[in-house]
């Protein structure tokens, strides 16, 4: 999530500088994808909020509170300035007499846990104040109009999605939250695809939760608003929605239709219903700020959620035992205080009882407090300590057999390959895999024979007189999976089960694990271009040393000779010896032409002939 430094600053007066924040976030909160200094002077942190903190940290307020808690510095509960706070407070009580209509909220589905709504009349659609468009711009939100901007602003500020409906487009001032009727349709607000806005019609199913008026669907609840009650330039009166929905339902609906919105992201991770009422106060005060002439209706709050106070108990001893370092009581107390935890300390039992804040849905037991405290304490302060582990458990038998089989095959001159489990035919099919990789292999030999072919063609590059390869791996049939052993050479193409293979090994004991003989050298990558190999054979007087011939070939071949000349045949007849060498040419940059290799070979022939050797 993009987090604006200037936005955080509204919550924390003594916020550390950007550099210090980078470290604090990385080692105490979560990974940072990027940090960017913007032309508007702001700095934006792209924080990879951990999924278990999505409940509270997908918001500027949550992040600011966390930072302040870690540092033990002051955090102001609202970023609104004092005069605005006054309005905001009044709004809590005041119901405007001008509004005769009553909003009626009718929740017909248990998937809606809470719905808080309010009518606001006399809206003047226009631009947003600069401070707000600046902050929105920092987190890559384009300003649309003052009302839409407020809904966006609240989402990124508090993490609670909200929605505004154009009241006059509804059949009556009634909001119904219900499951869709099978086949019911809705046209959702456009998605910007490049420069064009794409509007889409969706056909709904019964398990989709919707917001509707008496006649039509107004929105896919928690996912996206609909066209019918869209707020636009002409909007005068609105209904504000601050609601809480079942996370699984939202997630399923969003997935069904392939819609991923900022609202979905927050709802599917679950939000606390307890903040809805506070949020509508904040929305109201922002609307009041941008549209001072607007009047507010009564807040209607239908709350079907049962949030109970959650308490977690733990001891200092437990925290120290999990972290493996001694923590002091007063450090734990300081961490709890800084994070504004309400807690009771039981001195007799040396126990802490913490009241879990409503929005910390992630905290369910003492293990979570070990994380909470350990993180702030600092993981770097925990000293590594190797535990004594002398349990003398036996290794799994299949593992021993695998090692044994590999050992045996290597001793017999076979080289190991590992091929793909996913292939183009088989008995078990995988969903949504790439064409050609949508089945599990039923045997190892198909892959091994392909590998044999590759290596046979590459033989000149491999310095091998024969290709002998093997694989030990799992195969899959309708009856289940089984580890197989397969090996392949010029004569044999054999595949049997691991158990069968091991039965035939007479000396059934694994002496040691094969690993590197010595410190391994660095890998050398091969050329991806084709090679050309040439064989050359000639007669040489017996007294001439092999080395001399070798040098002639090497010195006349240049850089393209990628391997030492390979002697593949040698015999002596009378006073002459016949040598047969293989020369392999390859470039790292291009495909070689036959002619250029021919030219090199001519040079070698010439030189060998000049020395009086007889080309065969």
Site for other proteins in 43-72 (CB under 8 A): 50-54
CB of 184 to other proteins, least distance (A): 23
Nearer to other proteins, 109 or 303 (CB): 109
CB of 321 to other proteins, least distance (A): 5
Strands (E), 60-173: 104-107, 112-121, 162-166
Provide CB contacts within 8 A for 449, sequence distance 6+: 488, 493
- If one asks whether residue 131 binds other proteins (CB under 8 A), the answer comes out as no
- If one asks whether residue 200 binds other proteins (CB under 8 A), the answer comes out as no
Q: Which of residues 431-470 bind other proteins (CB under 8 A)?
A: 431-434, 437, 440, 447-448, 450-451, 454-455, 458, 461-462, 464-470
From 17, 83, 201, 390, residue interacting with other proteins (rule: CB under 8 A): 390
CB of 305 to other proteins, least distance (A): 19
Q: Which of residues 467-486 bind other proteins (CB under 8 A)?
A: 467-470, 473-474, 476, 480-481
How far apart, in Å, are the Cα atoms of 454 and each of 321, 412, 450, 461, 598?
56, 21, 6, 11, 25
Nearer to other proteins, 16 or 366 (CB): 366
Coil, helix or strand at residue 134:
helix
CB of 210 to other proteins, least distance (A): 20
Nearer to other proteins, 80 or 428 (CB): 428
Phi then psi for residue 47, to 5 deg, are -95, 135
From 84, 403, 562, 611, residue interacting with other proteins (rule: CB under 8 A): 403
Q: What angle separates helix 60-71 from helix 329-338, to the nearest 10 degrees?
A: 150
CB of 469 to other proteins, least distance (A): 7
Q: Which of residues 7-26 bind other proteins (CB under 8 A)?
A: 26
Q: Which of residues 253-292 bind other proteins (CB under 8 A)?
A: 268-269
CA atoms within 13 A on the CB side of 68: 22
Nearer to other proteins, 141 or 423 (CB): 423
Phi then psi for residue 585, to 5 deg, are -115, 140
CB of 322 to other proteins, least distance (A): 6
Report how far residue 10's alpha carbon sits from residue 128's, in angstroms, rounded to the nearest whole number. 18
- If one asks whether residue 325 binds other proteins (CB under 8 A), the answer comes out as yes
- If one asks whether residue 420 binds other proteins (CB under 8 A), the answer comes out as yes
Nearest to 297 by CA among 149, 158, 175, 125: 175
- If one asks whether residue 528 binds other proteins (CB under 8 A), the answer comes out as no
Report how far residue 548's alpha carbon sits from residue 552's, in angstroms, rounded to the nearest whole number. 6
Report how far residue 450's alpha carbon sits from residue 243's, in angstroms, rounded to the nearest whole number. 59
Report how far residue 153's alpha carbon sits from residue 162's, in angstroms, rounded to the nearest whole number. 10
From 3, 170, 402, 532, residue interacting with other proteins (rule: CB under 8 A): 402
- If one asks whether residue 374 binds other proteins (CB under 8 A), the answer comes out as yes
- If one asks whether residue 321 binds other proteins (CB under 8 A), the answer comes out as yes
- If one asks whether residue 384 binds other proteins (CB under 8 A), the answer comes out as yes
- If one asks whether residue 244 binds other proteins (CB under 8 A), the answer comes out as no
Question: Site size for other proteins, by CB under 8 A?
Answer: 110
- If one asks whether residue 349 binds other proteins (CB under 8 A), the answer comes out as no
From 293, 306, 348, 385, residue interacting with other proteins (rule: CB under 8 A): 385
Nearer to other proteins, 59 or 212 (CB): 59
Contact string 551-590 vs other proteins (x = CB under 8 A): ----------------xxxxx-------------------
How far apart, in Å, are the Cα atoms of 7 and each of 60, 146, 282?
7, 18, 16
Nearest to 485 by CA among 467, 503, 475, 473: 473
From 95, 344, 355, 430, residue interacting with other proteins (rule: CB under 8 A): 430
Provide CB contacts within 8 A for 460, sequence distance 6+: 531, 533, 566, 582, 584
Nearer to other proteins, 347 or 523 (CB): 523
Transcribe 62-78 into DSSP letters.
HHHHHHHHHHT----S-
Nearest to 97 by CA among 263, 267, 297: 297
C-alpha torsion sign, points 89, 94, 100, 106:
positive
Nearer to other proteins, 291 or 502 (CB): 502
Report how far residue 120's alpha carbon sits from residue 236's, in angstroms, rounded to the nearest whole number. 9
CB of 515 to other proteins, least distance (A): 4
Nearer to other proteins, 214 or 548 (CB): 548
- If one asks whether residue 510 binds other proteins (CB under 8 A), the answer comes out as no
CB of 403 to other proteins, least distance (A): 7
Q: How many CB atoms lie within 10 A of CB 320?
A: 16
Report how far residue 259's alpha carbon sits from residue 219's, in angstroms, rounded to the nearest whole number. 13
Coil, helix or strand at residue 381:
helix
- If one asks whether residue 610 binds other proteins (CB under 8 A), the answer comes out as no
On whether the CB atoms of residues 277 and 307 are closer than 8 A, the answer is no
On whether the CB atoms of residues 198 and 219 are closer than 8 A, the answer is no
Contact string 90-119 vs other proteins (x = CB under 8 A): ------------------------------
Q: Are strands 217-220 and 185-193 parallel, antiparallel or unpaired?
A: unpaired
CB of 294 to other proteins, least distance (A): 37
Report how far residue 163's alpha carbon sits from residue 170's, in angstroms, rounded to the nearest whole number. 14
């Amino acid at each position: 999530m993009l987090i604006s430094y200037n936005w955080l600053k509204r919550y924390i007066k003594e916020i550390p500088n950007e550099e210090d924040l980078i470290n604090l976030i990385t080692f105490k909160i979560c990974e940072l994808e990027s940090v960017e200094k913007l032309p508007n002077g702001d700095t934006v942190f792209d924080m990879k909020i951990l999924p278990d903190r999505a409940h509270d940290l997908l918001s500027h307020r949550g992040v600011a509170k966390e930072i302040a808690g870690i540092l033990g510095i002051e955090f102001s509960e609202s970023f609104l300035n004092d005069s605005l706070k006054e309005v905001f407070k009044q709004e809590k009580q005041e119901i405007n007499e001008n509004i005769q209509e009553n909003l009626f909220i009718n929740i017909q589905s248990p998937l809606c846990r809470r719905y808080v709504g309010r009518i606001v009349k006399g809206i003047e659609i226009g631009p947003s104040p600069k401070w707000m468009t600046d902050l929105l711009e920092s987190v890559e939100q384009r300003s649309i109009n003052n009302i839409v901007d407020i809904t966006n602003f609240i989402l990124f500020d508090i993490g609670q999605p909200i929605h505004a409906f154009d009241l006059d487009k509804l059949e009556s001032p009634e909001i119904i939250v219900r499951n869709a009727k099978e086949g019911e349709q809705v046209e959702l607000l456009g998605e910007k695809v490049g420069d064009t806005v794409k509007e889409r019609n969706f056909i709904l199913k019964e398990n989709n939760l919707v917001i509707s008026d008496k006649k039509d669907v107004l929105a896919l609840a928690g996912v996206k608003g609909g066209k019918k009650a869209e707020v636009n330039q002409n909007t005068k009166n609105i209904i504000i929605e601050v609601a809480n929905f079942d996370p699984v339902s939202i997630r399923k609906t969003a997935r069904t239709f392939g819609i991923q919105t900022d609202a979905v992201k927050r709802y599917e991770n679950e939000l606390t219903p307890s903040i809805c009422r506070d949020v509508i106060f904040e929305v109201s005060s922002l609307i009041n700020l941008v549209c001072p002439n607007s009047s507010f209706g009564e807040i209607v709050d239908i709350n079907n959620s049962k949030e109970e106070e959650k308490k977690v108990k733990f001891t200092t001893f437990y925290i120290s035992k999990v972290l493996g370092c001694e923590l002091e009581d007063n450090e734990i107390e300081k961490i709890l205080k800084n994070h504004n935890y309400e807690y009771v300390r039981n001195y007799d039992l040396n126990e802490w009882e913490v009241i879990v804040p409503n929005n910390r849905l992630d905290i369910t037991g003492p293990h979570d407090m070990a994380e909470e405290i350990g993180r702030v304490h600092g993981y770097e302060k925990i000293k590594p300590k190797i535990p004594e582990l002398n349990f003398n458990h036996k290794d799994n038998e299949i593992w021993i057999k695998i090692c044994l089989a590999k050992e045996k095959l290597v001793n017999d001159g076979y080289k190991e390959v590992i091929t793909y489990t996913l292939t183009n035919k088989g008995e078990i099919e995988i969903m949504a895999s790439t064409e050609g990789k949508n089945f599990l292999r039923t045997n190892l030999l198909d892959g091994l024979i392909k590998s044999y072919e590759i290596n046979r063609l590459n033989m000149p590059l491999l310095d091998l007189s024969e290709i002998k390869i093997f694989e030990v791996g799992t195969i899959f049939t309708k009856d289940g999976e089984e580890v197989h052993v397969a090996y392949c050479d010029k004569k044999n193409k054999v595949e049997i089960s691991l158990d069968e293979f091991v039965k035939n090994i007479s000396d059934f004991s694994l002496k040691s694990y094969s690993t590197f003989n010595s410190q391994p050298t660095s890998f050398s990558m091969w050329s991806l271009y084709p090679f050309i190999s040439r064989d050359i054979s000639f007669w040489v007087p017996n007294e001439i040393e092999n080395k001399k011939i070798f040098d002639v070939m090497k010195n006349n071949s240049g850089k393209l000779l990628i391997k030492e000349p390979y002697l593949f045949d040698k015999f002596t007849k009378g006073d002459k010896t016949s040598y047969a060498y293989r020369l392999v040419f390859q470039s790292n940059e291009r495909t070689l032409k036959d002619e250029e290799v021919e030219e090199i070979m001519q040079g070698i022939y010439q030189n060998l002939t000049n020395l009086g050797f007889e080309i065969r």
